[in-house]
Structure 1
C-alpha cells in the first residue's frame, strides 16, 4: 500500500462517468417526451420525470460521497439503477397501452440510433425527424434541413412508415435506459469489488494513521 495514500481521495468526478452522461440525456429526453405525449395532469407524467431525475441525482450524490463512504456510494448507485428501471417500465407501458411497437435491438432504426451515439436532446430529436422523413419521402432529409448520410442506412434498410414520432422517441429513451442500466450494473460490480479489496473509509483511516506512525519512528 502506498505510504502516502490520501485520507480523502479525489472524488465527485461524476460528470465524466458514462453512466451519468447517458442518464442525464435520458432525463432530458423524458422531460421533452412527457411535455409532448403524456397528459399534463397525469400522475404518470410526474413519476416519469422524477424517476429520470432520481437516476441522475443519485449517481452524482453517490460519487460525491465516495471519499468518506463507499457503502453510501454503492447504495446510491443502486438507487439510481432502480429509478431508471422504474422509468424503463413506464416507457414499456406507454408503448404497450397504445398498441405501439417496442423495437427489437436489431431493428434498422434502432441500429442507426445506436450508431449515432447521441450526446444531446437535439441529436435525439434530429434522429426522430430523420426516421420519420425517410419513411415518408425517401429522400433522406431530416426535419432540420440537414442531409442524413445514406451510408448510415445498412443495405438499403428503411424505417417502417408506421412508426410515429411518439413511438420512435419512446424507443430511443428505452435504448438510452438499457445502456444506462447496463453501465450502472457494471459500476456497482466494480464498486463492490473495490470495497471488498480495499475496504472503506475506516480501513483507509487505519492505513493512513499507521503509515504516518511508521514514518515518524
Structure 2
C-alpha cells in the first residue's frame, strides 16, 4: 500500500484495495458457500459442480483483477467488473435451476426470510460465519435461496460500481489524459 501511495505522485493513481470492497467481501462468501453447496447437493462427478464453482470464482477473481487494473486502464476495470457481474448472473441461474428442478420455491422479495437476509447484508464486515446458518441450513430451499439473495446483492452493487466507474471516467478521463496532463505540466516547469 505504501508503494501505491507513492505512485499517486505520478499519473498512476492509487489502485488495488479490493479487499475493502463490499462486492469482493460478499463474493468471497458466495464462493465459499458455493463450494459447500455443490459438495453437499451434487454427485461427485457432476459437471454442474465445476460450472458453479468456476462462475463463483470468476465473480470474485474478476473483482480483484478489475481493482488491480484500475491504475492504468479504466476501460479494463469497467470490463472486468462487468465480467464479474456476468459470472455471478450465470451462478444465480444455476441456483434457480436447482430450486426449479427440485420443485422448491424461489423466494419473492416479501418472503419473511428475505427480510432476515437483508438484515444480515447490512452487517458491516460480514463474512461466511455471518451467513453460515442460512448457507449450511438443513433445508436445501433455505441454502439455495440464501445464496440467490447474496448473489442479487452483489450483482446490484456491481451495477452501481460500474455506473460510478463510468461517471469517474467521464469526469476524470483515463491514463492517456493523465499522462498528457503530467507531461504538459512538466514542460511548463522546464520552460520557467
Question: TM above 0.5, one fold?
Answer: yes
1:19 to partner: Cα distance: 1.1
Moved segments of 4+, more than 4 Å = none
Q: How big is each residue's C-alpha offset from its partner over 1:29-67, in whole Å with a ceiling of 9 and x where there is no partner?
A: 111111111222111110000000000000100110111
Q: Does 1:71 align with 2:75?
A: yes
| Preserved contact between residue 128 and residue 168 of structure 1 (Cα < 8 Å) | yes
Q: Is the counterpart of residue 99 in structure 1 residue 103 in structure 2?
A: yes
**Which residue number corresponds to residue 120 of structure 1?**
127
Given that 2:134 and 2:146 are in contact with CA atoms closer than 8 Å, whether structure 1 keeps it comes out as: no
- Of 26, 31, 35, which residue of structure 2 is paired with 1:27? 31
Structure 2 match to 1:46: 50
Segment of structure 1 superposing worse, 92-101 or 15-24:
15-24
Show structure 1 runs of 5+ residues with no match.
Answer: 133-163
The separation in 2 between residues aligned to 1:38 and 1:26, in whole angstroms, is 17
Number of matched pairs: 181
CA RMSD of aligned residues (A): 1.7
When normalised by structure 2's length, the TM-score is: 0.88
Partner residue of 2:157 out of 183, 186, 199: 183
The 2-side partners of 1:16 and 1:120 are apart by: 12
Q: Which has the larger share of helix?
A: 2
Q: TM-score, normalised by structure 1?
A: 0.78
Whichever of the two has the greater Rg, that structure is: 1
For the residues of structure 2 that align with 1:72 and 1:113, how far apart are their CA atoms?
Answer: 32
Structure 1 residues 1-217: aligned runs within 5 Å:
6-117=10-121, 119-127=126-134, 165-216=139-190, 217=192
Q: Name the CA distance, whole Å, in 1 between partners of 2:129 and 2:112.
A: 21
